[in-house]
């Protein structure tokens, strides 16, 4: 039996991303809350999760569902109170679970007191906490920067006769991180939560945090991006409005603050770039983020060669000793099982939990939750409305967690008559089948697959720490790799095609199947040749 090398917790962890509005509603108002997360800690512990990342829980007018913060050091009443967070931290820690909050440094809500002051006059002491500029020579915006959500990144403020900048909605004005008072105020926010015992932060929208001090126009892209088509916002190369060299200094400063706290505290950066070398730069020399989200995979089609390329490109770009992440779903993307297919989602689960990077599971992916078309009928997410691109609605992947087959799927507490309220987004029509209770009772369900994979990863140092070597195996459409650590060796073979195939793996190894996507081949002997059904993946322990 091999043993694990000493390493920080986040290298061995399985992180689970919760969208708090949609996890469990204990008050019966149709919106998920923190007591609901506390109630489900046992579920997460049994599943084998190590750390939770919660999308923002702070006070907010909810224009962007919490990513528009109006008070960083208080909790939105829909979710609970500061005392509920304390209880969550304590109970999560008792169960061996760590807690990461979502820190939104780039922008506040326009309802934040800081912005109310800032917009009150050109001479207000907080004017310079945000980015205000005079109109351009033609009376229009000061430059060509675009909001990621569509339209110009500048909004005219009639009362004080200047434009303010916003990388996202106009209700999300960007902070001016060149102002030392802003840096100090935002560091106080981090300290506030670290002092309460949180284990770290997922850091939102990292690249635009600091902008060009000369406000130069962004050029147009010369090469097409493979990301989703977000209209004109996608055509600009954000070299002045984002990804500035000064950002690294700000992040080092933030990391110093984190390192001053006892117990390893984590900074997990949302560096939204499809270019692995950009993402990798933000690990610094182990003095910026300890982990950066690999957001390229969710933008790829279900093709073995492409996914392999981006897994390897991300790993290959990392500074020595740094750890990759694997992200296959999030609150910003279509659901994994809708994007790639339900059968494919099982193969993807094997990939997620047998590669080297730290896996991040989006809530509900473990039961194969699907995008809800109904959620898009009455869009709440402001982005598609603004961008005129309804297909971008993020509502469909944010629907309530499906706990059981009851009418409200166990998401909301029911009233005295037993009727659950209407949830803030509709329950998926297939919740009767895709839910935790039915899948826990079914040994072949996708839940059972996740559970078996997590158990395997946790008991197999090779899957966490081991070397990775991909093999070029015919026919095309397979992703086959070896993981090895101190004599423990696995072959993982994933068939991305719907057709069956037979593959032959060079070398003389023999072994046995320890897991398959269909959960029906355990113990099968392996002699170097392998038949795979369509959309099947297997993990083989080599002798």
CA atoms of 159 and 445, how far apart (whole Å): 59
Residue 538's DSSP bridge partners are 493, 516
CA atoms of 375 and 360, how far apart (whole Å): 24
List contacts with ligand NOJ (CB under 6 A).
64, 67, 104, 168, 204-205, 270, 331-332
Give me 426's structure tokens.
Answer: 């509709």
Sheet holding 478-485, edge to edge: 467-471, 478-485, 488-495, 537-542, 511-516, 525-526
Give me 231's structure tokens.
Answer: 């209209």
CA atoms of 339 and 368, how far apart (whole Å): 11
CA atoms of 529 and 534, how far apart (whole Å): 16
The per-residue DSSP string of 207-235 comes to GGGS--TT-PPPPBPSS--SS---THHHH
Taking the least distance from each CB to ligand NOJ, the nearer of 168 and 468 is 168
467-471 and 478-485 strand pairing:
antiparallel
Minimal distance, residue 22 CB to ligand NOJ, in Å: 13
Host H or E run for residue 73: strand 71-75
Q: Kindly name the residue from 33, 68, 270, 381 that is annotated as catalytic.
A: 270
Q: How many CB atoms lie within 10 A of CB 20?
A: 25
Q: Is the dihedral of CA 341, 345, 347, 348 positive or negative?
A: positive
- Spatial neighbors of 280 by CB under 8 A, at least 6 apart, are 292, 314, 317, 318, 319, 322
CA distances from 352 to 327, 463, 494 (A): 8, 11, 12
Taking the least distance from each CB to ligand NOJ, the nearer of 204 and 488 is 204
Q: Is the dihedral of CA 431, 437, 441, 445 positive or negative?
A: positive
Taking the least distance from each CB to ligand NOJ, the nearer of 376 and 408 is 376
Q: Kindly name the residue from 33, 199, 204, 371 that is annotated as catalytic.
A: 204
Q: Active site includes 404?
A: no
CA terminus-to-terminus distance, the chain: 12
CA distances from 176 to 189, 211, 254 (A): 16, 9, 16
Minimal distance, residue 21 CB to ligand NOJ, in Å: 12
Q: How many CB atoms lie within 10 A of CB 70?
A: 21
8 Å CB contact between 233 and 168:
no
Host H or E run for residue 467: strand 467-471
Minimal distance, residue 294 CB to ligand NOJ, in Å: 14
CA distances from 193 to 78, 150, 185, 199, 263 (A): 19, 33, 13, 9, 14
Give me 460's structure tokens.
Answer: 């197999």
Taking the least distance from each CB to ligand NOJ, the nearer of 424 and 468 is 424
Host H or E run for residue 68: none
Taking the least distance from each CB to ligand NOJ, the nearer of 127 and 244 is 244
- Nearest by Cα to 401 from 43, 14, 13, 90: 43
Q: Active site includes 415?
A: no
Taking the least distance from each CB to ligand NOJ, the nearer of 154 and 168 is 168
Give me 123's structure tokens.
Answer: 């001479």
List the catalytic residues: 204, 270
């Amino acid at each position: 039996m091999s043993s694990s090398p000493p390493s920080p917790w986040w290298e061995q962890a399985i992180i689970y991303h919760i969208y708090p509005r949609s996890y469990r509603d204990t008050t019966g108002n149709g919106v998920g809350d923190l007591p609901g997360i506390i109630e489900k800690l046992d579920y997460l512990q049994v599943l084998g999760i190590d750390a939770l990342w919660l999308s923002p829980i702070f006070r907010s007018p909810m224009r962007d569902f919490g990513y528009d913060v109006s008070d960083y050091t208080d909790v939105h009443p829909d979710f609970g109170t500061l005392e509920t967070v304390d209880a969550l931290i304590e109970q999560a820690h008792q169960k061996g679970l760590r807690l990461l909050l979502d820190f939104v440094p780039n922008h506040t809500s326009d309802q934040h007191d800081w912005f109310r002051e800032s917009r009150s006059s050109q001479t207000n002491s907080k004017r310079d906490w945000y980015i205000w500029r005079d109109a351009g020579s033609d009376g229009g915006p000061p430059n060509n920067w675009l909001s990621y959500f569509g339209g110009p990144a500048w909004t005219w403020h009639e009362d004080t006769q200047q434009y303010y900048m916003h990388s996202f909605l106009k209700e999300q004005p960007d902070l001016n991180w060149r102002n030392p008072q802003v840096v100090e105020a935002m560091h106080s926010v981090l300290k506030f939560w670290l002092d309460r015992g949180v284990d770290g932060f997922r850091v939102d929208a990292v690249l635009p945090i600091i902008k060009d001090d000369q406000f130069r126009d962004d050029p147009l892209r010369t090469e097409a991006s493979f990301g989703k088509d977000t209209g004109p916002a996608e055509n600009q190369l954000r070299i002045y409005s984002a990804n500035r060299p000064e950002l690294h200094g700000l992040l080092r400063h933030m990391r110093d603050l984190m390192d001053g706290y006892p117990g390893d505290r984590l900074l997990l950066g949302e560096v939204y770039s499809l270019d692995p070398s950009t993402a990798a730069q933000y690990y610094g020399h182990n003095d910026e983020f300890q982990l950066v989200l690999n957001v390229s995979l969710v933008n790829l089609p279900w093709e073995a060669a492409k996914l392999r390329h981006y897994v390897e490109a991300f790993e290959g770009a990392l500074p020595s000793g740094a750890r990759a992440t694997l992200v296959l779903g999030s609150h910003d993307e279509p659901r994994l099982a809708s994007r790639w297919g339900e059968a494919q989602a099982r193969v993807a689960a094997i990939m997620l939990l047998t590669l080297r990077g730290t896996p991040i599971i989006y809530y509900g992916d473990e039961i194969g939750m699907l995008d809800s078309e109904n959620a898009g009928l009455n869009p709440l997410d402001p982005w598609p409305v603004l961008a005129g691109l309804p297909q971008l609605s993020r509502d469909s992947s944010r629907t309530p967690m499906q706990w059981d087959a009851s009418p409200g799927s166990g998401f909301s507490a029911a009233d005295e008559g037993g009727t659950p309220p209407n949830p803030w987004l509709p329950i998926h029509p297939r919740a009767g089948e895709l839910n935790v209770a039915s899948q826990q009772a079914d040994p072949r369900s996708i839940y059972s697959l996740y559970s078996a994979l997590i158990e395997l990863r946790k008991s197999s140092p090779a899957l966490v720490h081991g070397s990775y070597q991909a093999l070029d195996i015919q026919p095309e459409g397979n992703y086959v790799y070896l993981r090895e650590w101190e004599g423990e060796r696995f072959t993982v073979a994933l068939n991305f095609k719907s057709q069956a195939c037979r593959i032959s793996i060079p070398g003389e190894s023999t072994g046995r199947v320890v897991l398959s996507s269909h959960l029906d081949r355990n113990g099968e002997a392996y002699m170097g040749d392998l038949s795979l059904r369509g959309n099947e993946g297997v993990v083989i322990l080599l002798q």
